[in-house]
Chain A
């Protein structure tokens, strides 16, 4: 049973560029959440996708956007990269959006460096 998979594992970009990160959820899960983790801090919620729609969003600018596909996989897009976007980006999947259905399982993350 494959867990949550993310690609790529590492990425180096320059300021102003755009990046797309990808996530495949754990088998049987239909809900995907994205988090940003800066060095030395806890993960910060970006947004959650369920039934191909963004269900909730954290305090992130519109430069951060996402998509969920019919097979439940998801993409995170970041436009006009800033140095401060350098972080570990984590994807999590769950059976649903609340309570015990929202028990989240995390992928290994994509480490993004913006130069």
Chain B
């Protein structure tokens, strides 16, 4: 099956700092989603981005499908950005989402 690797596994930031999270995948995809899992376990949709660039407030994402990676940028981080960020992909002509191991982010005040 498709492999999804996220880096770094852990990230500690000072409030106001910027950061970049990376997701590498091993096959072509027709669905790539970024999620934020809050401390209560709720997975919140951030982006659907199988290719290209999108921005939503302080968050933006870029997927380079030909090189099989995606980046999530967090700018001016806030303590509410703490949690685990997951990348999930659906292989072309597949159905299921395969998740990476996540990046655990802690933003300190």
Contacts and interface: CB of A to CB of B under 8 A. Distances in A.
A100 B96 CA distance: 13
Contact of B31 (A92, A103, A106, A108): A103
B95 interface: yes
Interface in B32-51: 33, 35, 40-43, 45, 48, 50
A98 B90 contact: yes
Interface residues of A, number: 27
Interface in A40-83: 41-45, 48, 55-56, 58
Contacts of A37: 41
Interface of B: 30-31, 33, 35, 40-43, 45, 48, 50, 86, 88, 90, 93-102
Interface string A81-115: 00000001010100001111011111011010000
Contact of A45 (B30, B41, B43, B98): B98
